[in-house]
Amino acid sequence: MAPELKDLTFKNQVDPNTIYRYGFSWGAAKVERLASSVKEGWIILGITTPKEDMQVYVTKTGKVRVWSPGGEWAQPKKKGKKK
């Protein structure tokens, strides 16, 4: 059975691996659902560490976009011939 649901406070947690109502912490990382739409099928996850903070947007078709305070992360360019 899952541990008791706890509030979303991140600081001063005794157990470094905790399950929250909308996410979990694992070591230095905290992952939580920030927003979602059942009707449109998308979700935004937040990933926070002591050194980084980012948001991951996932569409209903599976496309993933990542943002951090520096802006959106670009997909690496594919090498090879263009078709």
Taken as a whole, the chain contains a residue count of: 83
SS3 23: strand
Judging by beta carbons within 10 Å of its beta carbon (0-12, 13-18, 19+), is residue 30 exposed, middle or buried?
buried
Q: In a structure prediction context, what are the per-residue pLDDT tens digits for the chain, which is 83 residues long? A: 344 444 444 454 446 677 778 889 888 999 999 999 999 999 999 999 999 999 999 999 999 999 988 888 887 777 776 65
Confidence (pTM): 0.64
Nearest CA-CA partner of 50 in 71, 29, 80, 34:
29
pLDDT of 81 = 63
What the block records as the tokens of 23 is 């996410």
Spatial contact of 11 and 18, defined as CB atoms under 8 Å apart: no
